């Protein structure tokens, strides 16, 4: 009879010990783990850059990496270098289920790619964080396929922000997160997470010969690229007739309409905040893309917005997306372009040190096809922030901080933003001779 209270006491002690062991890191891993996948690849020796010897025709070179589920229907983001030139891809989920995967779209310059599997049931999407409010020494952890050891968890801190890293002559990274969480071969494409279990970066590189120096692409930067890679225009040839920009500052995250097609009669306007699309909550451009997947030409989709503080619902009709074919140009200088307003031009010259003029659609397709638009630099003020960073006449400005610079309206919006000074230094994105370059302007 005396055994009963002793057994109950032992049970109570075990439960108490388990609760103490559920640290914030353990809880965060439990939240995020099922959204991480392990990637195994095979490629031929010739495609892997190895010499091909007689008798080696059937030999394959194995590779490994990590991916993050960004849509429950089997869409996964990873690094481009993980899937480059592969002959086959296999994805392993957290429960051990294996699927063959295919590459859908890639961005070589930003080293990101979208791959697709066809799961038998919905996948768990990685909880989204933001890199806009990261703090030095903040606790972070990485989950990945380190050296082929699937779902390896390592922890550390944010060691530095805004690192620029040149890997080789063809691949450079900008504005990276540096961390001392152990990142090893196989971690590429996997998440760097905070203690809420939310992804705040995509692991991309390590410092050769060093210990505990790893780098990750900030998730806010990565999601802008992912939104382009997952756009319905790119993947399915349909369009909702409008474009958006993400605005993220800590817990404040919203999506606003940045442009509307001239052919679109949906009633959306520049500056509308998109809240939901057909009931799906919208946090950034990736959610916009996901919300329009599977929509057919002519189908009407309800878009919930906030305009001037008033909530409203606007129906948007899907249309067929047609890409304009670029005409051959004999000169890099734009012709027959609309002039900027004096106010915007003066402020850009005074604040940034730039004179800018918008590109037309055919020029965008020819000069910077992966962007929706841009502005050509036609003047640089000596001694200005732009001059100090080496921006030159003929460069194409395609973005400032979290905003695209599609034209005069975008530039005016950015320069008039009351929080502009809080983004000091201001990250800029330019295209020069077909290559995207990044830097920071000290305002």
CB 150 within 8 A of CB 91: no
Q: Which residues are catalytic?
A: 81, 111, 188
Q: On the CB side of 42, how many CA atoms lie within 13 Å of its CA?
A: 7
Q: How crowded is residue 192: how many other Cβ atoms within 10 Å of its Cβ? A: 31
Burial class (CB in 10 A: 0-12, 13-18, 19+), 36: buried
- C-alpha 51: how far from its chain's center? 35
**Closest among 119, 151, 116 to 34, alpha carbons compared:** 151
The tokens 């939104």 sit on which residue? 227
Buried b (16+ CB within 10 A) or exposed e, 141-164: bbbbbbeeebbbbbbbebbeeebe
| Tally of CA atoms within 13 A in the half-sphere of 140 that contains its CB | 34
Return all residues near 164 (Cβ < 8 A) that are at least 6 apart: 172, 173, 174, 175, 176, 438
Give the length of the chain.
Answer: 443
Q: Domain extents for the chain?
A: 31-116, 139-222, 240-320, 342-441
**pLDDT for res 9:** 34
CATH second-level architecture of 139-222?
Beta Barrel (2.40)
> Tokens 């010969």 belong to which residue?
209
pLDDT of res. 337:
34
**Residue 211's beta-bridge partner residues?**
none
Report whether CATH 3.40.50.1950 matches the domain 240-320.
Answer: no
Q: 31-116: which CATH architecture?
A: Beta Barrel (2.40)
CB 91 within 8 A of CB 99: yes
Coil, helix or strand at residue 421: helix
Q: 131: which DSSP letter?
A: S
User: Domain 342-441: which topology?
Assistant: Pdz3 Domain (2.30.42)
d(CA 119, CA 34): 14
3-class DSSP string for 214-272: EEEEEHHHHHHHHHHHCCHHHHHCEECCEEEEEEEECCEEEEEEEEECCCCCCCCCCCC
Count of CB atoms within 10 A of residue 222's CB? 25
Q: Show pLDDT as tens, one digit a residue, over the chain (443 residues).
A: 344 343 333 333 334 547 788 899 999 999 999 999 999 998 876 544 444 333 445 567 789 999 999 999 999 999 999 999 888 899 999 999 999 999 999 988 899 999 999 999 999 999 999 999 999 999 999 999 999 899 999 999 999 999 998 877 677 888 999 999 999 889 999 999 999 999 999 999 888 777 889 999 999 999 999 999 999 988 888 899 898 989 898 888 999 998 887 555 568 888 899 999 999 999 999 999 999 998 999 999 999 999 989 999 999 999 887 643 222 222 233 333 334 456 778 888 888 989 888 877 666 666 666 677 788 888 888 888 888 888 888 888 988 877 788 888 888 888 876 556 666 778 888 888 777 777 888 87
């Amino acid at each position: 009879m005396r055994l009963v209270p002793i057994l109950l006491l032992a049970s109570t002690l075990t439960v108490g010990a388990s609760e103490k062991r559920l640290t914030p890191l353990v809880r965060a891993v439990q939240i995020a783990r099922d959204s991480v996948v392990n990637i195994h690849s095979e490629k031929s020796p010739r495609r892997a850059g190895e010499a091909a010897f007689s008798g080696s025709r059937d030999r394959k070179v194995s590779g490994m990496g990590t991916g993050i589920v960004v849509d429950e229907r089997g869409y996964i983001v990873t690094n481009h270098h993980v899937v480059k030139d592969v002959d086959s891809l296999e994805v392993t989920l957290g429960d051990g289920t294996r699927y063959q995967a295919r590459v859908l779209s890639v961005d070589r310059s930003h080293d990101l790619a979208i791959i697709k599997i066809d799961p038998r049931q919905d996948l768990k999407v990685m909880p989204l964080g933001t890199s806009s409010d990261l703090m030095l020494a903040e606790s972070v952890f990485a989950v990945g396929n380190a050296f082929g050891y699937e779902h390896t968890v390592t922890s550390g801190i944010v060691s530095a922000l805004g690192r620029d890293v040149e890997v080789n002559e063809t691949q450079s990274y900008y504005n990276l997160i540096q961390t001392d969480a152990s990142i090893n071969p196989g971690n590429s494409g996997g998440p760097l997470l905070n203690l809420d279990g939310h992804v705040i970066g995509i692991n991309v590189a390590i410092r050769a010969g060093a210990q505990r120096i790893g780098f990750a692409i900030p998730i806010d930067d990565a999601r802008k690229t992912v939104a382009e890679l997952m756009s319905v225009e790119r993947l399915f040839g349909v369009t909702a007739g409008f474009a958006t920009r993400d605005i993220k500052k800590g817990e404040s995250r919203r999506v606003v309409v940045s442009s509307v097609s001239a052919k679109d009669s949906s009633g959306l306007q520049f500056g509308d905040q998109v809240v939901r699309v057909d009931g799906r909550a919208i946090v950034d451009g990736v959610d916009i893309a996901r919300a329009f997947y599977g929509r057919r030409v002519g189908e009407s989709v309800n878009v919930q917005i906030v305009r001037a503080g008033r909530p409203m619902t606007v129906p948007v009709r899907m249309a067929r997306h047609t890409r304009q074919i670029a005409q051959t140009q004999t000169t890099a200088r734009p012709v027959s372009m609309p002039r900027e307003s004096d106010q915007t031009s003066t402020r850009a010259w005074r604040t940034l040190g730039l004179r800018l003029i918008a590109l037309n659609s055919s020029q965008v397709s020819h000069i910077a096809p992966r962007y929706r638009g841009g502005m050509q630099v036609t003047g640089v003020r000596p001694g200005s922030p732009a001059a100090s960073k080496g921006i030159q006449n003929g460069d194409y400005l395609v973005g400032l901080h979290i905003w695209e610079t599609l034209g005069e309206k975008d530039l005016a919006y950015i320069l008039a933003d009351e929080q502009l000074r809080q983004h000091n230094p201001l990250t800029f994105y330019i295209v020069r001779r077909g290559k995207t370059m990044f830097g920071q302007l000290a305002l």
